[in-house]
């Protein structure tokens, strides 16, 4: 059977977000990379983040976190824009997604 895995790509800012999660980097990485086999784990977002999804996960002793990403079916890629604590994550995600759209060719 052919592999149905997706590639997980993090924007430069999302990579920095992940590094800031010390000492939970490994745990957060596992949560985000679970999207390789199930990109529908997150729930769809609406409004200015329509087309994006939000993956919810907990870091032991640190609380609730989110990763906001877009699934690009044609390329089998999950592009992660932001990883961080639940508080204010969607406002930050809106800014990052808008900036990425302005930079797109």
Q: What is the per-residue pLDDT across 76-100, written as a single tens digit (0 to 9) for each?
A: 999 999 999 999 999 999 999 888 8
Distances in Å between the alpha carbon of 83 and those of 3, 36, 65?
27, 16, 7
Q: What is the per-residue pLDDT across 17-67, written as a single tens digit (0 to 9) for each?
A: 999 999 999 999 999 999 999 999 999 999 999 999 999 999 998 899 999
Q: Would you state the CATH architecture of domain 7-103? A: 2-Layer Sandwich (3.30)
CA-wise closest residue to 20 among 80, 67, 84, 63: 84
State yes or no: pLDDT of 104 exceeds 90: no
Question: Domain locations in the chain?
Answer: 7-103
């Amino acid at each position: 059977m052919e592999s149905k895995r997706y590639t997980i790509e993090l924007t430069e800012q999302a990579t920095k977000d992940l590094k800031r999660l010390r000492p939970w980097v490994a745990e957060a990485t596992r949560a985000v990379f679970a999207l390789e086999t199930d990109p529908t784990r997150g729930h769809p977002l609406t409004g200015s983040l329509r087309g994006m999804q939000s993956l919810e996960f907990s870091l032991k002793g640190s609380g609730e976190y989110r990763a906001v990403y877009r699934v690009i079916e044609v390329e089998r890629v999950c592009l992660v824009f932001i990883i961080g604590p639940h508080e204010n994550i969607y406002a930050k995600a809106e800014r990052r997604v808008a900036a990425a759209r302005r930079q797109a060719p």
